[in-house]
Amino acid sequence: MKIYYLLLMFVASVNTLFAQKIPDNFRLDKIIQANDLPIGNPNAVLMTNDLKHLIISYEHKPTYLRVYETQNWEQVNQIEVPGVLYLGQSYIDCDNNELLYGDYGATKPKFYLLNILSDYREKVKPKDLPLQNCGHSFVGKTKLREQQFRIKDQFIIVLNHPKRTIEIFVKKVKRT
């Protein structure tokens, strides 16, 4: 009987090592899954600077991007980008909803602007790159079970790799 009790205590303590505490002033608002994608492992997130859109990237070759409105968490676009797109090395142009990313696979890097709402993609010369970049990007490490990212103390995003989910917590509004 003691061996079962010790085993149960060990399993419970290991699970608490992986759990990350969400502060009490945040509540779970949405769980996003990508079961319909061929490769559904989320590996990075990027929030626009105005906090209106969340971009999630899934694996690579090709990279799938999903764009969500943060007001109601409705998916507004899904984009398949040929090749590899590293969302952690990408930026949002401050003036519009264009994602600036590079294709570093060739001997000479190529840069692209991708409109996250209309799928319009254009190649950009290095001299024409926007001078100011915005957005909040976070890259997940796939060796961890889950990772937690905080954005401007308004959102907490948890990437859960084994479950292939993204949990979004929002700050509770205090009523006066």
pLDDT 10s digits, 77-113: 999 988 788 887 888 877 778 888 887 766 777 888 8
Do the domain assignments include residue 167?
Answer: yes
Q: Please tell me the total number of residues recorded for the chain in this structure.
A: 176
Burial of 103 (0-12, 13-18, 19+ CB in 10 A): middle
SS3 at position 131: coil
Which residue do the tokens 């003036």 mark? 95
Q: Which domain holds residue 18?
A: 2-171
Q: Find, among 90, 84, 1, the residue nearest to 47 by Cα.
A: 90
Residue 176 in any domain: the answer is: no
> Is 63 within a domain?
yes
Question: Does 99 reside within a domain?
Answer: yes
The predicted pLDDT at position 16 comes to: 39
Residue 41 falls inside a structural domain: yes
Q: 25 or 10: whose pLDDT is higher?
A: 25
Does pTM surpass 0.85? no
Q: Is residue 15 part of a domain?
A: yes
Mean pLDDT of 113-139: 81
- Residues 6 or more apart from 161 whose CB is under 8 A from it? 41, 42, 140, 142, 144, 145, 146
What pLDDT shows up at residue 69?
A: 93
- Give the residue, 29 or 35, on which the prediction is more confident: 29
In this structure, is residue 163 part of a structural domain? yes
Total domains in the chain come to 1
- Residue 12 pLDDT exceeds 50: no
**Bigger pLDDT: 42 or 80?**
80
